[in-house]
Structure 1
């Protein structure tokens, strides 16, 4: 069902955090072509319409093929700063108060870039976003799970001297065939560096992958996690332990994890007491930023009250200092007063 203008306005204004966002996944086609031209990178596309025609995916791998190809246009500190600043402008317009953002240094390093160049560019973009919009952001060092584990160790070698400028470590890319247990030593080392621990699990992989992220990697938050619904015992455990799930409805639809947004098991997980959050994953590729994901759920009939609860979950599941969380809770309460007519 279509949502009203007032509901759309409310969802954009709803104070929220974004906890599952890949900065490279915000590379809009127009920006990709502009950066390619700026950096002299040749892409095999005949203009913007041809490039857009490739944004149709059969599965996770078909998306990743294009995703990694377009990352080749990111070459300079300025490129990474512009990419970050453009995302934070979108996030601010969508009511995001804090974003905890994945980046994929291994891919950039394999493209011949220096780790510090990438980090400096992203941090510069975060500083620009904070100055322009007052939005808070932090970086999650993401390990590409289908690259050799030794590559992840090399990444941690590069990251260690500036670990205090990072928030967390994550684990992304192709899931099946690369179980969490492969990265036990990587996560133990990252924990020793003072990083929070999160990991993608239960998107392609089974609920068993989710169990491994908890028991072997000792994560504090699970990215995606929708296949947890196949294991009621695990659902109860995650609910009891307060483990957040960073669910991405439009991503699940575009990558054919589900064939209808209504089949993303958010309502069931909420009813089970799970700390479910809603996020955009790779919005340039999947048809919408975070407010679009909230709106897509509203169109399935999920109540505005439930969506407000999800926004509250996103505040609780983020890694912000407690004082910042308290301020966001206050803003959410103010939003509930302003939009009380929608809450039933």
Structure 2
């Protein structure tokens, strides 16, 4: 089996659903269920015998190690992280705790478990750490995309905490021999994303006729990666990545934030017209956030050349699927925005 940390979050939940759709190998989901952890995302598999959930903090090293020794996973895929930059600016301590201390605790649990394995089990084990392109800092308009050798220059408490965790993973491989893999991805989007991130926030506000807030001049550029493509990349890295290596994962879709918002508005106008008029009328500019990185871009030639992975979705196809999902799941959005999804957890899981 495999262990997944943070499997009730956006990317982790999509990965578990994707994994179980294509594999009979069981999954243990370890999640503390913070504000963005939503087990409703996994309702379709909660009774699947291949799926198991443990409400557990990744900082609880001994508890994680006990589960590893009991269930003997062949891999631990580490998604669990505090990931929202604005939240990190307001409260950096939780980001250091979860992203740095949590990764350290998992590495130590994995090292203790792996050290006790022998033969084929020891050779097969992997610790796959899922990270971000934000650790590399900000690019100028004409600079090439981030490669795996780009120096780290994190600019926010969030990206600094992820950079620290990346360094820990590297050190545990080079010092102790732990067979680690690291992926650094660009901005993900797709189903089940918590609606404080740009794309789901814009969809929700536009449908409700509320203002669409754009930081600064709206020209900050991101490389947009559909979450299903990211899941496929992680599967491929787990399958064939070389221990100790880093693989950058990007969508080949650089776009300014304002163009993302305009695209979403046009799709909503087509799929669900607003009698009041085109939704671009709702766009408004607000003060930029502190330290806002200007541009991210990924050079994904390594994962393409070594492992044969390339994104299947263009931004046009991926954003179309995403907008359609949110239109078809307005009840999910309403429960997340109201906090009722936590009641769903209590009603559907904790009482069992």
Which structure's relative contact order is higher, taking Cα pairs within 8 Å and 6+ residues apart? 1
**Normalising to structure 1: TM-score of the pair?**
0.33
Which TM-score applies when normalising by structure 2? 0.32
